[in-house]
A and B are shown apart, each in its own frame.
Chain A
Amino acid sequence: MKKLILFVAVSLLSTASLFAQTLNVKSGNVTYQFSADKAGLMPFSGVNNFSIQNFDFNVSEVSSMMVDNDEVIDNMVKVIYDNTTAKVYVAGNIAPYISVSLTGANVVIDQSADVNDSVGEITYRLSGTSEDGSFVLNGSYKASIELNGLTLTSMSGAPVDIQSGKRTAIRVVEGTVNTLVDAATGSQKGCISCKGHLEFKQKGTLNVTGNKSHGIYAKEYIEIKNTKINVLGSIKDGINCSQYFAMESGTLIISGNGDDGIQVSFKDDTNREAEDTGSFTLSGGTINVTSSADAAKAIKADGDVYIKKGTIVASTSGGGIWDADKLKTKASSCIGADGKVVIDGGSLTLKSSGGGGKGISCDGEFIVNDGEITIETTGGMCAYVSGKINQNYTGNADNLNSDYKSSPKGIKCDGNVTINGGSLKVNTTGKGSEGIESKNILTINGGTINIHAYDDGINSSSTMYINGGDIEVLSKNNDGIDSNADIYISGGVLRCFGASSPECGIDVNSPYAVYFTGGCILGLGGSNSAPSKTASTQAYVLSGAKPTAGSTVTIGTASETYYSFEIPSDYTSSAGGRAPELSPEFGPGGGQSSSNGLIISVPQLQSGTIYTIKYGTSSTTATARLTGGGSSF
């Protein structure tokens, strides 16, 4: 039986190839292909003309007509590059709609404006190799370009130049490697340049090098599904597009970019279409950007950034610059958005090492609902002083106008910061670097948050709400959490570690207050702020105890432990200072005090009751209270 099947299969294959009959009409380097089944009657008109499938030929332009067994695929144009030449094959059914100009291996296709839904989309299949070739597509209807093993270098412009303003699907055939390199001269905006929108599809590999400007440029949106794209180098952005960028799956690797990795702009400044959002959306796949240019963003959106699934690994090593037009410093960032940043899932690993470099920077809101985010910044403060940019400014920056300095930060957000879930780990080591900074309201409702920072761990310019989550915040040289307005803590687990007095674990600027209404809270540092208003309803204890790195602090009665707090292994601050009773000028609720270097609040505490605090091998007692005893600066 197996032999019979094999025989049938072999017969089938040989038969199939025999039955495909095609009439190839060659005119110059262009061959028009007509299926014998569809050629029908081919009438002659006079002595000069004949037509096939309504496409007219002049006999003087026909060099040969051959019948072979090639298969004709309707609506297909095949371009095969062969060093200094190219051969073009046009399917007979669309011959009336295709005009081909060919100079060497530079192919220009004019797709007729008559192509419409009735004619259907035309696919251009490109293959072969040329060190001096290109493909230019003019048209006004959507089209597909199929990259089927293409190695193409242009000596004068873009190897793939799509002048159509409509959608062009770039189908990168699975199992093929395609490499495009553009010229260092010319007017092209990208190695792949498109005046419409681009949709990359299929699972092949596409290597792109942009020697004049961007690696890939589209005047409108770019979508990626399945394709593996390597932007190996670009004078400007790795990918530059307008309207939006959306990636569903596949792999995008960008390196050697002279500016941003991916930049998404608005297409129009006014009267924007609904899809003109300027947004970046990742819903799957992997993006890896290594950016070394000064003040560059690995991912930059004029609108919002949405990360739903997938993986982003991004690093920036470029330093800050002085923007002479805007008269302000400008620094690198792994993700930068003029709008909001919303993370619903996925994995982000972001590293920034340049002066003033940030993990995430946004002008709008920053919202985390889920996902795993790891951010590391190692750069110092970028400052413009005496007409020179300094990448690691160590002078007193307090006297510098904010436009003249750019501090490194894990997350810097001009809008509200809201964390509802997920895992967020931030480590900043450069001078002046904060973990998370919100210029507005900061709210934590859930998630696992671990922040170790050189400067403030979490800083908000407006009210801070902590309603849930498991939060560890450590500042080496400033406050664990620092609000320029009230702090409301109602739930979750919060461990805040700050530096020596006047810094602290929990810091509220006067005249604002901290409110404890729930949660398990530990603040350790020089002089913590403590509740001072009667609206704070959960009792706390203050102590001058000095837990050491890696130890455990517990709160409870002599016989029962209510809660245990772990002290981070890299905690180095000593909670020094003076007791408030020795410094009456600070009064209740404020003072540089060793007695408030440690503050603990858990739901079990009752005001007026004495509790036991154990730390390492030591222990002490403290009386719980509802207000007073803290500091406020």
Chain B
Amino acid sequence: MKKTLFSLMALMVSLGASADYQSMQFNLLSGEQRSIPSASLSMRFENGNLVAQSGSEFLSIPISDLSSMEFADKTESAVFNPVVSSTSISEVYSVDGKLMLSNISNPKVLNSLPAGIYVVRKSDGSTAKFAVK
């Protein structure tokens, strides 16, 4: 009986470690970020704008202002935030500029970092922040 319970709980934990994004984040060319809850999110393109609606929340952004969008605010502890899940990460810095990791072939090594905020530099030169909780 205990084994059964343990197996179920282990499976639950396993599933819980998958996607759990709270919002869709829009990265603007200006560097500004805007977001809207991802639950039941509906989006369409209308008159040159990306129009998003989630429940009572509404968002309209000119397409010409958009750099990218991504699922964000993942609540789980794993570091597989879309920002850093790419294998194209070349370096990881702490917020005080200290090089923490380099030549990363497997993003899972990011799990070894202490809790905190970090900045990754990708192989294309772009950077992004992420948190290890």
Contact = CB atoms under 8 A, between A and B. Distances in A.
Given A42-B68, A43-B67, A64 B86 contact: no
B31 to A, nearest CB: 15
A60 B63 CA distance: 12
B81 to A, nearest CB: 10
Nearest to B29: A44
Contacts of B1: 1, 5
Interface string B21-40: 10010000000000000111
A43 B69 CA distance: 6
Contacts of A9: 8
A520 B15 CA distance: 75
A43 B8 CA distance: 39
Contacts, number: 95
Interface string A449-485: 0000000000000000000000000000000000000
B66 A44 contact: yes
Interface stretch (B41-49, B93-101, B111-119): B41-49
Nearest to B12: A12
A562 interface: no
A37 B19 contact: yes
Interface residues of A, number: 35
Given A5-B5, A47-B63, A67-B40, A21 B12 contact: no
Contacts of A37: 18-19, 80, 85
B47 to A, nearest CB: 11
B80 to A, nearest CB: 7
Contacts of B43: 64-66
Interface in A357-373: none
Contact of A65 (B5, B8, B12, B44): B44
A36 interface: yes
A20 B18 CA distance: 8
B67 A44 contact: yes
A23 B48 CA distance: 21
Given A39-B71, A42-B68, A64-B42, A8 B12 contact: yes
B52 to A, nearest CB: 8
Contacts of A48: 63
Interface in A55-74: 59-60, 62-68
Contacts of B85: 37, 40
Contacts of A68: 40
A602 B127 CA distance: 99
Nearest to A5: B5
B104 interface: no
A4 B5 contact: yes
B68 A11 contact: no
A12 B41 CA distance: 24
Contacts of A16: 15
A199 to B, nearest CB: 33
Interface in A1-60: 1, 4-5, 8-9, 11-12, 15-16, 19-21, 23, 35-37, 39-44, 46-48, 50, 59-60
Contact of A21 (B15, B21, B70): B21
Given A8-B8, A44-B66, A39 B18 contact: no
A26 to B, nearest CB: 9
Contacts of A67: 24, 38-42
A40 B20 CA distance: 14
Nearest to A68: B40
B83 to A, nearest CB: 7
B9 interface: yes
B4 interface: yes
Contact of A12 (B15, B19, B38, B67): B15
Contacts of A8: 5, 8-9, 12
Given A39-B71, A64-B43, A59 B63 contact: yes
A20 B83 contact: no
A36 B41 CA distance: 12
B67 A15 contact: no
Contact of A19 (B5, B8, B15, B80): B15
B56 interface: no
Contacts of A1: 1, 5
A605 to B, nearest CB: 75
A40 B86 contact: yes
A252 B87 CA distance: 49
A42 B70 contact: yes
B63 A36 contact: no
A63 B44 contact: yes
Contacts of B64: 46-47
A44 B45 CA distance: 13
B4 A5 contact: yes
Contacts of B24: 67
Given A11-B12, A36-B38, 17 more contacts: A1-B1, A5-B1, A12-B11, A12-B15, A16-B15, A20-B18, A21-B20, A35-B19, A37-B19, A40-B82, A42-B68, A42-B70, A62-B44, A64-B42, A64-B43, A65-B43, A66-B42
25 contacts: A4-B5, A12-B11, A19-B20, A21-B20, A21-B38, A23-B71, A36-B19, A36-B38, A36-B71, A37-B80, A39-B82, A40-B70, A40-B86, A41-B83, A44-B63, A47-B48, A50-B66, A50-B69, A59-B45, A62-B44, A64-B43, A64-B44, A67-B24, A67-B38, A67-B41
Closest 9 CB pairs of A and B: A67-B41, A65-B43, A44-B66, A59-B45, A36-B71, A43-B68, A36-B19, A40-B82, A37-B19
